[in-house]
C-alpha cells in the first residue's frame, strides 16, 4: 500500500519519504542493538550473568577460583573477580561464539567484547588475572591468548610472580589435553605414552600453553 501511495506522489515528496526511511534505518543502531547484552552480575574472573539471566563462561581462559562450595578461594581469585567487574559490570557487551556454544553446566560459551572494542577474554590474560585454557574445539583464539600470556609472565603481571615463585617439578605434561600434573597424579599417570611430555617447571608449562590439572593442582 505504501508503494502505491508513493507512486501517486510528486517526485519531490517521494524523495522526501525515501530520505526519511533511510534516516530511520541508519538511526536504529543508536538504540539498543539486538546482539548486545547488559552484564548484571560478575560471578568470578571468567563467568558472568546477563540481565536476561543467561550465564556466560569466557572461552579460552581460566581465572583463579573464589571461595565456593566450602572450598577456600585460590590465590588471586578475588583480584581476578574485581578485575572482571571493573571491565564489564553494568556495561553492554557483544558475544562471539566458537564451535561449541554451551558447556556441560548449561552455560553459554563466548568471547566477550565491550562496545568500545575491548576483547575482555584477552584483557584478563594481559592483566595476569587468568591463564590460557585449551578446550577443543573452541580454540579459535588460542594462539593469540598464548602470546599474551607469555608477555604477561615475562612482565610479571598480576598473579604470575607469586604463582611461579615456587615449583615442585618435574611435571607430567599431556600434549593432547594441554594439562600438566604432579608425578603422583593418577590422571597424569593414565596419560597415553604417545602424549606424555616431561615439564621441568610451572613457568615452562604455562609458557607452552599447559594448564594445571584440577584434581592434583600442581
Catalytic: 107? yes
Which residue out of 79, 81, 107, 182 is catalytically annotated?
Answer: 107
Q: CA-CA distance, 12 to 6, in Å (whole number)?
A: 11
Contact 144, 134 (CB under 8 A): no
Catalytic: 143? no
Q: What is the CA radius of gyration of the chain?
A: 24
Backbone angles phi, psi at 20, to 5 degrees: -65, -40
Catalytic: 214? no
DSSP-derived 3-state class of residue 49: strand
- For 36, 40, 98, 102, 209, the CA distances from 33, given in Å and listed in that order, are 6, 17, 21, 23, 36
199, 193, 196, 198: which is closest to 174 by C-alpha?
196
Positions marked catalytic: 57, 65, 107
Amino acid at each position: 500500500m505504501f508503494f502505491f501511495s508513493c507512486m501517486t506522489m510528486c517526485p519531490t515528496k517521494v524523495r522526501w519519504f525515501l530520505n526519511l526511511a533511510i534516516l530511520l534505518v541508519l538511526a536504529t543502531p543508536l538504540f539498543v542493538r539486538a546482539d548486545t547484552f547488559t552484564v548484571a552480575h560478575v560471578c568470578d574472573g571468567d563467568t558472568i550473568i546477563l540481565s536476561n539471566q543467561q550465564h556466560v563462561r569466557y572461552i579460552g581462559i581460566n581465572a583463579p577460583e573464589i571461595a565456593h562450595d566450602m572450598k577456600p578461594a585460590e590465590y588471586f581469585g578475588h583480584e581476578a573477580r574485581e578485575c572482571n567487574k571493573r571491565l564489564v559490570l553494568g556495561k553492554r557487551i557483544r558475544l562471539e561464539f566458537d564451535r561449541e556454544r554451551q558447556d556441560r553446566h548449561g552455560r553459554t560459551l563466548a568471547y566477550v567484547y565491550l562496545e568500545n572494542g575491548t576483547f575482555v577474554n584477552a584483557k584478563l590474560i594481559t592483566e595476569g588475572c587468568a591463564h590460557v585454557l585449551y578446550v577443543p574445539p573452541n580454540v579459535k583464539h588460542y594462539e593469540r591468548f598464548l602470546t599474551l600470556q607469555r608477555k604477561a609472565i615475562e612482565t610479571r603481571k598480576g598473579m604470575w610472580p607469586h604463582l611461579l615463585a615456587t615449583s615442585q617439578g618435574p611435571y607430567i605434561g599431556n600434549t593432547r589435553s594441554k594439562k600438566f600434573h604432579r608425578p603422583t597424579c593418577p590422571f597424569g599417570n593414565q596419560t597415553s605414552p604417545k602424549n606424555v611430555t616431561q615439564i621441568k617447571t610451572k613457568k615452562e608449562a604455562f609458557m607452552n600453553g599447559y594448564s594445571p590439572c584440577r584434581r592434583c593442582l600442581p
